[in-house]
Chains A and B, each alone.
Chain A
Amino acid sequence: MYREMTLSGWGRVRSGNALVARPERVRDVYRLFETAGGRQICARGAGRSYGDCGLNSGGILAHTERLARILSFNEQSGEIACEPGVTFERLLRVFVPLGWLVPVSPGTAFATIGGAVGNDVHGKNHEHTGSFGQHILEMDVMTPDGSTHTIGPRRRPEWFRATVGGIGLTGVLTRIVFRMMRVPGPCVLVTRKRVDDLDSLFSGLENAGGAAYSVAWIDALARGKFRGRGILETADPLAGAHGMARKPGPAIAMDFPNFALNRLSVAAFNAVYFHKASPIGRTAPCHYGDFLYPLDRIGNWNRIYGRRGFHQFQCVVPYTEGFRAISSLLEEIAARGAASFLAVLKRMGPQRAGYLSFPMDGYTLAVDFPNQAGTAALHSRLARVVTDHGGRNYLAKDALLSRGDFERMYPELHSFRDAAAQMDPDGQMGSDIDRRLGIRQR
């Protein structure tokens, strides 16, 4: 049975009508394929992707909320098996007290493990720990013919590499096995330090290479000699501190009016945020839940951007091009005065697990823009800078990329297409982003 629903991505810019099924067991997924009747299918987890990769207008979405069980856990090796709808939040609550953590986590704990596979997510520790897909031992994927295949890095590796990062276009996952990481306590020890310009921020990130986690927040509205000022955050696991609890936070109960976010209000927010951080660095313990997911403390924070929604532009540029590329991106953004908090800069390592995985050895920049006149034009200028420097954009965040840019950014696309065509020869898997970018190209 389906429920007809209009759903949107987390950025609330793209939305679409779909028949939503909510399988509760593996058998229901089988039935879903059996009765799809020519409509395309895509799985959807928590709906935390920003653009249109969790949408399937006119098709069927398999909402994985109820396929959310932990199937096994080995206390010696940390090997865990679970269903795709299990969230990072749940794993945090169950396993951090036992001394285990999911090794790679995106910026929200509400995301699902299935979504983490589909987007081959990375975290603030990518440089050292790699992407989520690299921790997978094996997984079961049901293809549209109703058969279940166990795939892994050494078991049907092409299918595995197409499914990790393949944004749900190869089948529906029913079981994922990966390895958790031991942690000595529920906290990290975080150092936050104010940095006055882009040069120092880059050298700060370079020198932070020894820290398990490192990330920089940039004031994307600062111009002139302040351009690139920001806050450098580094962290390492902390032993003990078992009594430390997570901090509670507010929830955004309604949409902010569109005018609430403008150049002035955001510049003021950014200036206050910047000056609150210590110039010499301050160190304090912080619970993993608060450190990994700072925005989760504000329920429905996407409402701050109002009903018009927002775009997040996230790109990665190669290491050698890093400083020049990031400088020109920041210049473009500041010149347009595009209001943005939460510009985030990170060093990224080369590790990636899938053909369409995002990471590359270099620097990644993520910037939010409210959806307004000129945003699309700015986006395409920024995408041009990214392609000129040999970088790529993150599909999990995207709603605006062009087909041409997409193909230039993902050189392993043909390998993805070949494997996906074997897994789903009749093209029964599909989604809005797939049709917009011609990902499967049937």
Chain B
Amino acid sequence: MSRRATWLILGGSSAIGRAMADAAARRGHDIILAGRDTGDLERTAADVRISTGRRASVVAFDAMAIESHGRFAAEIGAQTDVLNVALLFGIMPAQQEMDRDPARAVDCITGCFTGAVSVLQHLAPHLEQKGAGLVIAFGSVAGDRGRLKNYVYGGAKAGLHTYLSGLRNRLRRKGVHVMTVKPGFVDTAMTWGMPGMFLVARPEDVARACLSAAERNTDVFYVPKFWRWIMTVICAIPERVFKRLEI
């Protein structure tokens, strides 16, 4: 029997994090939930344990606290056999807020990009050493093109996409697969009440689809799938037209 990997969920308090923990546990994996609100993570871990019978534990993790990532990764590396990583955290301040206050833009970049690169760089040697595993990291369709209404967040996610592409190449050599997820609109706290939402996907569906896609070694995964076509069209618009659009 092959060794069942443990899933580390970075950003486990989000709706997608919970859904991912539940979906992975239902597939027979143990779960480590990582995030800042450990009290809340304990609630999710209890639910996973009771409803799936798998082990689920909680560790404190702060994406913004870059200096803590080395020790965090070492501890995770030491306490797991085969390790899978789902990187789900990110923050999306309103664009207008970041236009008013550049410090918020820096927060957004740290929360979405710097923090992600930092923790993955620290985890990478452990993954290489284990010689197996999956990494699912959440980018965004917003990272495919810089839009007026969301360009800082989009910029951070674009950076993450590029980083993940390189990481995929590096870890592939050691038997670890990296999948970039580009979700469209998902029904989470981030999108609740936001105007202009359409065809919003349920977190449970997104989580299940991501796990299946990663097991098939998909490299870049749009979810729901039609977002690939929407983004193909958006990316095909010439820049001199695009710069005049209000989207």
Write out the residue numbers on chain B whose beta carbons fall within 8 Å of the beta carbon of A26: 39-40
Interface membership of chain B positions 140-156, coded 1 if the CB is closer than 8 angstroms to chain A and 0 otherwise? 00000000000000000
A70 engages B192 (CB within 8 Å): no
- A69 x B43 contact (CB < 8 A): yes
Answer whether residue A22 sits at the interface, using C-beta atoms and an 8 A cutoff: yes
From B44-52, B95-103, B218-226, the one touching the partner chain is B44-52
Taken together as a complex, chains A and B put the C-alpha atoms of A22 and B188 apart, in Å, by 9
Interface string of B20-54 (1 = CB under 8 A from A): 00000000000000000101100110110011000
Known: A24-B15, A25-B13, A25-B37. A70 touches B46 (CB 8 A): yes
Residues B50 and A1 in contact, CB atoms below 8 Å apart: no
Shortest C-beta distance, B166 to chain A (Å), equals: 33
**Chain B's nearest CB lies how many Å from the CB of A132?**
20
Tell me the bound Cα distance from A25 to B40 in angstroms: 7
The interface size bin for chain A is: 10 to 19
Whether B196 sits at the interface, judged by CB under 8 Å, is no
B194 within 8 A of A: yes
Name the residue of chain B whose CB is nearest to the CB of A25: B40
Query: Contact between B40 and A94 (Cβ–Cβ < 8 Å)?
Result: no
Q: Report whether A1 and B13 are in contact in the complex, using a CB–CB cutoff of 8 Å.
A: no
Instruction: Assess whether A3 is interfacial by the CB under 8 Å rule.
Output: yes
Interface status of B238 (Cβ within 8 A of chain A): no
The smallest beta-carbon distance between A22 and chain B, in angstroms, is 5
Assess A70 versus B15: contact at CB under 8 Å? Given A22-B192, A27-B37. no
Q: Which residues of A contact B39 (CB under 8 A)?
A: 26
**Chain A, Cβ-Cβ closest to B203:** A66
Known: A71-B46, A72-B50, A94-B51. A1 touches B192 (CB 8 A): yes
Check: A2 CB closer than 8 A to any chain B CB. Answer: yes
Please give me the residue from chain B that is nearest to A5 by CB atom: B193
Query: In the bound complex, what is the Cα–Cα distance between A83 and B13 (angstroms)?
Result: 15
Whether B247 is near chain A, meaning CB under 8 Å from some CB there, is no
How far apart are the CA atoms of A71 and B40 in the complex, in Å? Answer: 10
Give bound CA distance, A22 to B47, whole Å: 19
A70 contacts across to B, CB distance below 8 A: 46-47, 50-51
Residues of B within 8 A of A410 (CB): none
Q: Which residues from B are CB-within-8-Å of A71? A: 43, 46-47
* B241 on the A face (CB < 8 A): no
User: Closest chain B residue to A26 by CB distance?
Assistant: B40
Q: Which residues of B contact A83 (CB under 8 A)?
A: 43
Residues of B within 8 A of A4 (CB): 193
Q: Tell me which residues across on chain A come within 8 A of B37, comparing CB atoms.
A: 25, 27
Q: Does B189 contact A (CB under 8 A)?
A: yes
A373-407 with Cβ < 8 A to chain B: none
Known: A24-B15, A26-B40, A27-B37. A69 touches B189 (CB 8 A): no
When A25-B37, A26-B40 are in contact, do A1 and B46 touch as well, CB less than 8 Å?
no
Among residues 270 to 308 in chain A, which have CB atoms less than 8 Å away from a CB atom of chain B? none
Q: Which residues of B contact A24 (CB under 8 A)?
A: 13, 15, 189
Q: Indicate if the CB atoms of B192 and A69 lie closer than 8 Å.
A: no
B43 to chain A: which residues have CB within 8 Å?
Answer: 25, 69, 71, 83
> With the chains together, A234 CA to B44 CA distance in Å?
39
Task: Give the CA-CA distance A398 to B46 in the complex, in Å.
Answer: 37
> A323 contacts the other chain (Cβ, under 8 Å)?
no
Interchain residue pairs with CB less than 8 A apart (20): A1-B189, A1-B192, A2-B193, A4-B193, A20-B193, A22-B192, A24-B15, A24-B189, A25-B40, A25-B43, A66-B15, A69-B44, A69-B46, A69-B47, A70-B47, A70-B50, A70-B51, A72-B46, A83-B43, A94-B51
CB within 8 Å of A: which residues of B? 13, 15, 37, 39-40, 43-44, 46-47, 50-51, 189, 192-194
A interface residues, Cβ below 8 angstroms from B: 1-4, 20, 22, 24-28, 66, 69-73, 83, 94
| Additional 9 contacts, C-beta under 8 A, given A3-B193, A69-B44 | A1-B192, A4-B193, A25-B13, A25-B37, A27-B40, A71-B43, A71-B46, A71-B47, A72-B50
